């Protein structure tokens, strides 16, 4: 186990890698339990994004006949929107479920040998599972619309800042959630607000100038913009992406240190 106050990313990565098999089993169990008893079972992993994409295409493409600002014959508005939502949903599911990640498993916490630090990664693993299927649907839709490009292969790389930030916040919120039960009610409200404060329904260029750097350089906004640029075959703003990566790394390391510092009090609080 790394030092509780460790901010050494290599030590943290080595610890998580050592626990990879256990983490994989927990993620698998989490995903399967979600769909257990459902009539369509695991088919919902495909059905949910298909239904979402169909609704977006109908509402924004047929009813509102929306177009991306300055868009002339580019990727359809619904797919631009869907691309942003894929990234946001990974973030939202991870952060939204984080407050209950530890509190919901008191039996694990009270086992001294159990690596409690991996519990906040379970929602992230489940979110990535759903995100992967969403990307498959997006790829198929882009191919259908005649806009499939090799930029789709860059998505795993471009997601790194968002994943690091989500993990860091998950460690923070999982620790706070043990002591403050209201976190499970508070966090979803802020996540919902963040959906409209991120460039999902609009490009970052539409944000007023003084506020634009906040949207361009935060992990969520930078990743969404980079993903759209990659899919459209446009130049990616690697400067914004790199700044977002640095910010995300700081959030991740601080979140891990905070979680490790708090973990000795979890058993008493539960």
How far is the C-alpha of 168 from the C-alpha of 161, rounded, in Å? Answer: 11
Q: In whole angstroms, what is the distance from residue 127 CA to residue 94 CA? A: 6
pLDDT at 124 over 50: yes
Specify the higher pLDDT residue, 121 or 74: 121
* Position 2 in a domain: no
Percent of the chain with pLDDT over 70: 91
User: What is the domain range of residue 156?
Assistant: 9-269
Query: Domains in the chain: how many in total?
Result: 1
Question: Residue range 175-192: average pLDDT?
Answer: 91
CA dihedral 103, 105, 111, 114 (to 10 degrees): -100
Residue 112 has pLDDT above 80, yes or no: no
Calculate mean pLDDT across residues 203-232: 90
pLDDT at 9 over 90: no
Q: Which two tokens stand for residue 228?
A: 């759209």
The mean pLDDT value of the chain amounts to 86
- Assign 104 a pLDDT band (cuts: 50, 70, 90): confident
Q: Are 174 and 119 in contact (CB under 8 A)?
A: yes
243 in any annotated domain:
yes
Residue 197 lies in a domain: yes
The beta-carbon contacts of 125-128 under 8 Å, at least 24 apart in sequence, are 125/23, 125/24, 125/26, 125/27, 125/30, 126/27, 126/30, 126/31, 126/34, 126/93, 126/97, 127/89, 127/90, 127/91, 127/93, 127/94, 127/166, 128/90, 128/163
- From CA 259, how far away is CA 174, in angstroms rounded? 8
Q: Contacts by 61-67 with C-beta closer than 8 Å and gap 24+?
A: none
The conformation of residue 209, written as its DSSP 8-state character, comes to: G
Q: Would 62 be classed as within a structural domain? A: yes
Measured CA to CA, the distance from residue 254 to residue 203 in angstroms comes to 30
In a domain, 3, yes or no: no
Higher pLDDT, 270 or 257: 257
d(CA 120, CA 113): 17
Residues 98 and 79: their CA atoms lie apart, in Å, by 29
Three-state DSSP class for residue 135 = helix
pTM of the model: 0.89
pLDDT at 153: 92
pLDDT of residue 270: 66
Distance CA 75, CA 146 (A): 9
Q: Which of 34-43, 96-105, 120-129, 247-256 has the lowest mean pLDDT?
A: 34-43
Q: Is residue 21 in a domain?
A: yes
Q: What is the DSSP letter of 270?
A: -
The per-residue pLDDT for 72 is 41
**CA atoms in the 13 A half-sphere facing the CB of 259:** 32
Q: What is the pLDDT of residue 230?
A: 92
Give 176's pLDDT tier (boundaries 50, 70, 90).
very high
Q: Could you tell me the CA-to-CA distances from 21 to 15, 17, 109 in Å, in that order?
A: 12, 8, 19
- Nearest alpha carbon to residue 158 among 74, 240, 242, 226: 226
């Amino acid at each position: 186990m790394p030092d509780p106050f460790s901010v050494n990313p290599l030590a943290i990565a080595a610890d998580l890698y050592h626990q990879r098999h256990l983490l994989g089993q927990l993620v698998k169990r989490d995903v399967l339990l979600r769909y257990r008893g459902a009539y369509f079972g695991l088919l919902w992993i495909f059905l949910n994004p298909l239904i979402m994409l169909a609704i977006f295409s109908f509402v924004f493409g047929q009813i509102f006949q929306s177009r991306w600002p300055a868009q002339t014959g580019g990727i359809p508005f619904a797919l631009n929107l869907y691309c942003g939502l894929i990234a946001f949903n990974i973030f939202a599911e991870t952060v939204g479920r984080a407050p209950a990640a530890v509190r919901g498993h008191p039996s694990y916490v009270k086992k001294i040998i159990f690596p409690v630090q991996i519990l906040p990664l379970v929602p992230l693993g489940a979110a990535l599972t759903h995100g992967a299927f969403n990307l498959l649907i997006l790829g198929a839709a882009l191919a259908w619309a005649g806009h499939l490009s090799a930029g789709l292969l860059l998505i795993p790389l471009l997601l790194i800042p968002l994943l690091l930030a989500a993990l860091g916040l998950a460690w923070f919120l999982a620790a706070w959630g043990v002591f403050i039960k209201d976190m499970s009610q508070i966090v979803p409200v802020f996540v919902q607000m963040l959906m409209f404060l991120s460039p999902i329904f609009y490009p970052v260029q539409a944000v007023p100038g003084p506020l634009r750097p906040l949207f361009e350089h935060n992990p969520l906004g930078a990743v969404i913009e980079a993903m759209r640029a990659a899919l459209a075959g446009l130049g990616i703003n690697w400067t914004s992406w790199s700044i977002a990566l640095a910010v995300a790394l700081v959030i991740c390391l601080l979140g891990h240190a905070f979680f490790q510092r708090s973990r000795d009090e979890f058993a008493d609080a539960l």
